[in-house]
């Protein structure tokens, strides 16, 4: 029996290390998947905004036909924003910044459009326009909520994969820190609204 004791101890250690590594890997995979799903929800919220824009532009076009430049700017910004997508498995800070820049261009064009609307009292009272404006406002709130939830999911994943001793296993299994959604440079300053 004494002959087998070292082998039994080694066997128990191997099984213990295997269980620990398997548990770490499975939990990290789960957290990573949660973060990727949260990113998909961010993209979905932005897509909802992009889908509302053609209706908003069409409604404004009927009232403000001579605001062609503003309307074309919104259409172009929407096109740019929908072209820029990121694979949830490749969320690098550079790609996040590129995505955010495209979305910021669309936000700026929409702001300009909504300021233009102030010149048309009939449009501001139009039921379709008011409904679209309300949906757009709700969508902007959804975007903010989904971005926050994405950052929360990334935070859980990053803490799990960077704390010791998990950090050792994370590098061994190929888990890397994920990029968070950050505010656009200059967004700490209040925007100027001119009528």
Split at pLDDT 50, 70, 90, the class of 156 is very high
What is the DSSP code (8-state) at residue 50? H
What are the strands, taking DSSP E only, across the chain?
Answer: none
Q: 84-107: per-residue pLDDT in tens?
A: 777 777 777 787 778 888 888 888
User: What number of other Cβ atoms are within 10 A of residue 159's Cβ?
Assistant: 11
Helix H, strand E, coil C: the string for 161-195 is HHCCCHHHHHHHHCCCCCCCCCCCCCCCCCCCCCC
pLDDT digits (tens, 9 = 90+) for 161-189: 998 888 888 888 889 888 887 766 655 55
Instruction: Provide the b/e sequence for 23-37 (b: ≥16 CB within 10 Å).
Output: ebbeebeebbebbbe
Contact of 139 with 48, CB cutoff 8 Å = yes
Q: Which pLDDT does position 67 carry in this prediction?
A: 66
> Average model confidence (pLDDT) for the chain?
81
Peptide bond into 165 cis (omega under 30): yes
Architecture of the CATH domain 8-173: Orthogonal Bundle (1.10)
How does pLDDT run across 4-61, given as a tens digit for each residue?
A: 888 888 889 999 888 888 989 899 999 999 998 998 888 888 888 888 888 877 777 7
pLDDT band with cut points at 50, 70 and 90 for residue 194: very low
pTM of the model: 0.68
d(CA 151, CA 91): 12
Cα–Cα distance measured from residue 110 to residue 117, given in angstroms and rounded to the nearest whole number: 11
Q: How far is CA 131 from the centre of its chain?
A: 25
The answer to whether 71 and 57 have CB atoms below 8 angstroms apart is: yes
């Amino acid at each position: 029996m004494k002959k087998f004791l070292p082998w039994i101890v080694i066997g128990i250690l191997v099984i213990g290390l295997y269980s620990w590594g398997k548990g770490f890997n499975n939990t990290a995979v789960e957290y990573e998947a949660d973060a990727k799903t949260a990113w998909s929800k961010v993209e979905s919220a932005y897509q909802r905004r992009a889908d509302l824009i053609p209706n908003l532009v069409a409604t404004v076009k009927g009232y403000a036909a001579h605001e062609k430049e503003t309307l074309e700017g919104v259409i172009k910004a929407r096109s740019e924003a929908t072209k820029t997508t990121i694979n949830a498995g490749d969320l690098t800070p550079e790609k996040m910044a590129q995505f955010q820049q495209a979305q910021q261009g669309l936000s700026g064009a929409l702001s300009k459009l909504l300021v233009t609307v102030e010149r048309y009292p009939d449009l501001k009272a139009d039921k379709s326009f008011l409904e679209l404006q309300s949906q757009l406002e709700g969508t902007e709130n959804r975007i903010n909520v989904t971005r926050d939830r994405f950052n929360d999911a990334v935070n859980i994943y990053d803490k799990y994969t960077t704390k010791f001793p998990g950090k050792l296993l994370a590098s061994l299994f190929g888990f890397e820190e994920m990029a968070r959604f950050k505010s656009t440079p200059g967004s700490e300053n209040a925007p100027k609204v001119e009528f």
